[in-house]
Amino acid sequence: MTPCYFFGSFDPITNAHLELAKAAQKQFAFQDIVLVPAYKPPHKQGMAFFADRLQMCRLAVQEYAFQVSDIESQLEGFTYTINVLRSLQPDFDAATAKIPFIIGSDALQYLGTWFQADILAEKLIFLQAARETTPLQESVLINGQEVPLDTRMINWHGGNTSSTQVREMVATGNDISQLVPPLVAKYIKDRNLYKNGV
């Protein structure tokens, strides 16, 4: 069975990330959910080192039946989502079965700007977590055309805690123990991460 993938910067991984993945696993009966921390995403800069974000993910999933992949660190150049998926699934282009992919509706609305977005729209089932500011995305603009998406809504009513919020709280000396797993909070403190904020 094809695993469900959850890509993200995870800078840092939060309880909200984990609860979302847990909800998707329960709702769709996935045997495997694989977290894929970004190594060098083309749309983001100034993140914590990949090794730190990877380790925080590994610490976070100890209480969950999730996997963490370091595949992006093995690829050269910018780690475009489609190239990572092709590395994870060698039969990606030939496969007829679609790949389940967890994503926030706020991120999905920008799918049209992603590398080879038309192929992603064809090959993926987008499992969405709707944000308060962004409704369920049922289609996106790709190359000027409205493209329908194969999408499902995750029945999840978790908080809207973001990694940005966690980083800002660390920078201002606030307690993050309710926002991230205990081992992640300890790792952030021990490694002195995010003291300079976002």
CATH of the domain at 91: 3.40.50.620
Q: What pLDDT sits at residue 197?
A: 62
Q: What pLDDT sits at residue 198?
A: 56
Q: Is residue 187 part of a domain?
A: yes
Question: What is the token pair recorded at 4?
Answer: 């469900």
Please give the tally of structural domains in the chain.
Answer: 1
In 3-state terms, what secondary structure has residue 3? coil
Q: What pLDDT sits at residue 42?
A: 65
- Residue 193 CA to residue 139 CA, distance in Å, equals 38
Q: Is residue 32 part of a domain?
A: yes
Confidence of residue 132 (pLDDT cuts 50, 70, 90): low
Q: Which residues, 6+ apart, have CB-to-CB distance to 190 below 8 Å?
A: none
Q: What pLDDT sits at residue 45?
A: 67
Q: Is residue 198 part of a domain?
A: no
Q: Is residue 11 part of a domain?
A: yes
- Residue 30 CA to residue 18 CA, distance in Å, equals 14
Output the CA–CA distances (angstroms, integers) from residue 115 to 5, 43, 78, 81, in the order listed.
18, 11, 11, 8
pLDDT tens digit sequence for 136-169: 899 999 999 999 999 999 988 776 788 999 999 9
Domain range enclosing 41: 4-191
Q: Is residue 67 part of a domain?
A: yes
Burial class (CB in 10 A: 0-12, 13-18, 19+), 91: exposed
Q: Is residue 197 part of a domain?
A: no
* For residue 12, cis peptide bond before it (omega within 30 degrees of 0): yes
Q: What is the 3-state secondary structure (H, E, C) of 121-164?
A: HHHEEEEEECECCECCCCEEEECCEEEECCEEECCCCCCCCCHH
Q: What pLDDT sits at residue 47?
A: 87
- Residue 168 CA to residue 174 CA, distance in Å, equals 9
pLDDT tens digit sequence for 13-68: 999 999 999 999 999 999 999 999 999 776 666 789 999 999 999 999 998 889 99
Q: Helix, strand, coil shares of the chain as percentages rounded to 5?
A: 35, 20, 45
Q: Is residue 196 part of a domain?
A: no
What mean pLDDT, rounded, does the chain reach?
Answer: 91
Burial 137-159 (b: 16+ CB within 10 A, else e): beebebeeeebebebeebebebe
Q: What pLDDT sits at residue 121?
A: 97
